[in-house]
Chain A
Amino acid sequence: MAIRELFDTELKVVNIGLAAFKESLDHCGVQAVQVDWRPPMQVDATVEASASAIDRANQRAVKVILAGKPFLVGMAKALHVVPGMRKNVILHAGPPVTWERMCGPMRGGVIGALLYEGMAKTAREAQALAVSGAIDYSPCHQHAAVGPMAGIVSPSMPVFIVRNEEYGNTAYATMNEGLGKVLRYGAYGPAITQRLKWMEETLYPALQKAIAKLGKVDLKNIIAQALHMGDEVHNRNRAATSLLFRLLAPAIVRTAPDAEQAARVLEFINGNDHFFLNLSMAASKATLDAARDIAPSSVVVAMARNGTDFGIQLAGTGGQWFTGPAPVPDALYFPGFSKKDANPDIGDSAITETNGLGGFAIAASPAIVQFVGGAASDALRYTRRMYEITAAENNVYQIPALNFRGTPTGIDVRKVIAKNILPVIDTGVAHRKPGVGQVGAGILSAPAKPFEEALMGLAKALKKKERS
């Protein structure tokens, strides 16, 4: 480059500071962008010094994330396929948590699961078992699984098997039970057990056969289409569920034992707009897991909440969790409920945001943008802000309203801290008491603490490497 080359190039100006200068440039018809500048925060010196090594690792990590090819390839009982699953293990959402620190909905979910498994006959018995120490609790994320809200996975539950065909790794998620009094909101009792049993005995075999008939289902393709149809596949899954329904319906009809059973299975899927949510989560999990263990990458590979803590994991720091208290969402509450009814943020569903979907893709979802404050422009602003903290733009997932720009993908924890911009999560809100269900929905900012911790953790890992 030489200075005189500038003389032959059309001027394009980034104005950082006095807005009047940008107005003058506009007046002259010059292409210019005004930066809404704010003083930056200091990033750890060790991380700063390793900037180029981290950049390289991040490039690798996002390459892996963008190349991921998640396919739904089958179903099985959790006990048979989920790594580390045993008869006395219950998986839950978010980072590790003991029974003592578990929130209401999660405890309810555990009780419901023990009843469903037949390990207890009454809620009281289940509770006694839950605290006895005989049950091992473990985060879904440590078993290649993800679960919405309480995220409870017990051994007998059927799970979707989602394989990342590019890298060969697999992720698992249960089937979505629908709205109302459901296990993931901590509901338990005969009605819940009955529904779970029906899902195990009727829904699961029907879906299993249908998937086997289809061979595999391209989830990335469905998600990409759904973003063009008004979903962000976290808080809105109506389009994706419909697309999946269209794919599955003929196969279900062909493989079901009788028409009535086929009809009931199809009705169940049709009656639950969130049926696809668990698949968008598993697709995100399978995509992101492939990017683990790329040192010293500062890209986030998991954001998850257990209703008590909010935890994140980085591509460059192995299985280590960085946590902080989960915030209570400042959401829109259904009539009769308010913030004081709300449980702190819960669920593995923030895996979608981690994968450039959900809140990061909210500009694609005009039907729910009002949760963010009313105007469609707010949703655009949310998504656009996220480009500031991500390492890449998605090659497949696009935002029509942003001229089909790829969604912001691959959260760089350094940018989160340096720019003081936290990820937005588009979430449902659980009642703090088990079993009441959803009480609201909204947009919330991830808390800063886990990201600060993560950056310190990365710095520590870098220092350790220097010494060795």
Chain B
Amino acid sequence: MVVKGAIKTGVYFDSVTLMIVGRDITAATGVLDAAVVMGTRENQAILKSAGLWLRQFDAAADTDLLLAVKAASAEAAAGALRAAGEQLKAVRDRTDAAEEWRPLSLEGALQILPGANVALISVAGRYAGEQAMQALKAGLNVMLFSDNVPLGREIELKKFARAKGLLLMGPDCGTAIINGVPLAFANAVNRGDIGIVAAAGTGLQEVSSLISDQGAGISQAIGTGGRDVKKEVGGIMFLEGLKALIQDTATSTIVLISKPPHESVLKKIGKALKGVRKPVIAVFLGADEKTVRRYGMAPAATLEEAALVACGARPRPANGQVADLPHLGKYIRGLFSGGTFCTEAQVIFRDLGIRHVYSNVPLPPFVTLRNVWKSRQHTLIDLGEDVFTVGRPHPMIDYSLRNRRILEEAQHPETALILLDVVLGYGANMDPVGELAPVIREARVKRPIVFACSVTGTPRDPQNRTKVVEGLESAGARVFPSNAAASKFAAQVARSLEKS
């Protein structure tokens, strides 16, 4: 056993710092006891009684720092002294890391952000419902991003919110823009006088981005979650959102986006629209136009059409030079990260008379793709479905699964064209070109097939749509202004392939 020590003259540390250093070096292996103290008379006495006194300390004064280590070996003692020196230096160099305080609960958050009016909730579904209820009770509007919230809970929350005059967007609501603020997955769009209610998240992103591209803008974009317009929920929030936009003086045109709502919901919408003079454009993908018109809405067949009509612009004619395509393969393979886009593509294929399409989310009359990992004939796949997202982030964020599938499909002799969507904005993948362009290049080196892409977003998005389009085009993809345009092009190719 050895006792080793050191004196540092003219160095001052407060006693607590020294106790911390002393404690830490005492904890080192081989160290039996240690003291790091200023050389006051009291401390000298303490060192003596603890058996840590050294001859060299005899001359110590109040202003000297004394380090003493009792250790099993000389090396351990020396190591401890070195460690103490380093730690004291670190204390000197310490700066105040002014970090932001994170409260531990909604209640704590409301204490430091009084007047909070929106809770954005994305915790696991089994807790999310309770959190949402707490937020509603505290008078906050709620955007419930989480999925896997039971249907009964959703209905309970929405009824409660309606009674309190609050929004309950979701569950499984990916997108909203309130007062110009993009929430969760949303794009940096212009503000303007067009209001949106959507039960389809990517649909909302597409329509709002296209409106912004036309120079018009969004007043409010309210998401409801896909289940809202089904029979069970009965369109509670779809209707509340619609009513709010009808009353909102800053909104002069309304766009409704959804898969076809249940008949009972359509009826309620029709009732709510009685006497309303604002134009209401509805894109209920796959719905019968006459029915939509009967309930007082102007039907749009595609998201793009809805956006253009809302801006007072003319729908674009389908374009794309089909004639000069290379004669490779027979079928279209659509790999979508946005579920709404997969549906929209099917509507377009159907309306252009393509008869045989397989999908994991088939729209009548199309057929279910049994093995989702293997395409058949024309195949349009929603990669955001649960089977693909178990254990990995959504395909709008994580491109790896789709990138593999792209390479696989591209090599297949049957594949003529790959149809893709790229979704930009907050929450989405931040480097789409860096991750997707090399894959397109690689695929086209092996088989120069056609890539038809849409890019949903705006030049003001963090990814910058203009740059993304350039990047994808230079990789050899044909980039279209919308998913509808890309899908129409793909459908025309499909038709010409069927003829040939």
Interface positions of A (Cβ within 8 A of B) = 1-7, 9-18, 20-21, 24-25, 27-28, 30-40, 332-336, 338, 368, 370-371, 374-377, 380-381, 384-385, 387-388, 393, 415, 419, 421
Contacts and interface: CB of A to CB of B under 8 A. Distances in A.
Nearest to A384: B101
B interface secondary structure, majority = mixed
Contact of A36 (B104, B120, B240, B243): B104
B310 to A, nearest CB: 18
A145 to B, nearest CB: 32
Contacts of B188: 28
B179 A376 contact: no
Contacts of A15: 119-120, 122
B192 to A, nearest CB: 14
B6 interface: no
A415 B179 CA distance: 34
B22 A335 contact: yes
Contacts of A14: 106, 109-110, 113, 116, 118-120, 135, 140
A370 B22 contact: no
10 contacts: A6-B141, A11-B181, A14-B135, A20-B427, A33-B113, A37-B123, A40-B127, A335-B19, A335-B37, A374-B20
Contacts of A380: 101
Interface string B464-494: 0000000000000000000000000000000
B462 A27 contact: yes
B52 interface: yes
A1 B102 contact: no
Interface in B228-258: 240-241, 243-244, 247-248, 250
Nearest to A1: B165
B167 A6 contact: yes
Contacts of A385: 104
A335 B105 CA distance: 40
A1 B46 contact: no
Interface in B88-125: 91, 94, 96-113, 115-123
A336 B19 CA distance: 11
Contacts of A377: 96-99
Interface string B381-413: 000000000000000000000000000000000
Contacts of A17: 120-123, 145-146
A376 B91 CA distance: 13
A3 B166 contact: yes
Contacts of B131: 16, 37
A7 B101 contact: no
B266 interface: no
B285 interface: no
Nearest to A339: B23
Contacts of B167: 3, 6
B14 interface: yes
Given A1-B166, A3-B167, A35-B104, A16 B250 contact: no
Interface string B41-70: 001001101101000000000000000000
Contacts of A18: 122, 145
Contacts of B17: 370, 374
Given A16-B131, A35-B104, A384-B103, A336 B35 contact: yes
B250 A388 contact: no
Contact of A4 (B112, B130, B183, B248): B248
A421 B97 contact: no
A33 B241 contact: no
A336 B462 CA distance: 59
B96 A375 contact: yes
A410 to B, nearest CB: 14
A25 to B, nearest CB: 7
B180 to A, nearest CB: 8
Given A3-B240, A21-B122, A12 B19 contact: no
Contact of A39 (B106, B127, B181): B127
A47 to B, nearest CB: 16
Contacts of A3: 141, 165-167, 240-241, 243-244
A139 B22 CA distance: 37
A11 B183 CA distance: 11
A7 B248 contact: yes
Given A14-B110, A33-B113, A384-B103, A336 B49 contact: yes
B171 to A, nearest CB: 12
Interface in B131-178: 131, 135, 139-141, 145-146, 164-167, 178
Interface centre among B43, B108, B131, B240 (most CB of A within 10 A): B108
B175 to A, nearest CB: 12
Given A14-B135, A35-B106, A374-B20, 20 more contacts: A13-B116, A13-B120, A14-B113, A15-B122, A17-B145, A21-B426, A28-B181, A33-B112, A34-B100, A35-B108, A36-B103, A36-B104, A37-B105, A335-B46, A336-B35, A336-B46, A374-B17, A375-B97, A377-B99, A384-B101
Contacts of B426: 21, 24, 27
Contacts of A387: 103, 108, 111
Contact of A335 (B47, B94, B102, B120): B47
Contacts of A21: 120, 122, 145, 183-184, 426-427
Contacts of A421: 104
A335 B35 contact: yes
A354 B121 CA distance: 33
Interface string B174-208: 00001101111000100000000000000000000
A16 B113 contact: no
A393 B112 CA distance: 12
B427 A24 contact: yes
A333 B18 CA distance: 11
Contact of B23 (A24, A39, A332): A332
Nearest to B51: A336
B379 interface: no
Given A7-B248, A16-B122, A39-B127, A370 B16 contact: yes
Contact of A7 (B43, B99, B112, B179): B179
B165 A12 contact: no
Contacts of B182: 24, 28
A310 to B, nearest CB: 23
B375 interface: no
B23 A333 contact: yes
B220 interface: yes
What 7 pairs across the A-B complex have the smallest Cβ distances? A17-B122, A336-B50, A370-B16, A335-B35, A1-B165, A24-B426, A36-B102
B434 to A, nearest CB: 18
B109 A33 contact: yes
A10 B164 contact: no
B33 A336 contact: yes
Contacts of B14: 370
A2 B244 contact: yes
A16 B132 CA distance: 10
A309 to B, nearest CB: 28
Contacts of B100: 34
Contact of B165 (A2, A40, A371, A388): A2
Contacts of B219: 7
B58 to A, nearest CB: 18
A370 to B, nearest CB: 4
Nearest to A337: B50
A24 B183 CA distance: 8
Contacts of B103: 33, 35-36, 384, 387-388
Given A3-B241, A10-B179, A31 B113 contact: yes
Interface string B422-433: 000011000000
A259 to B, nearest CB: 30
A335 B118 contact: no
Given A7-B220, A21-B427, A368 B16 contact: yes
A254 B167 CA distance: 70
B39 to A, nearest CB: 13
A438 to B, nearest CB: 13
A293 B135 CA distance: 32
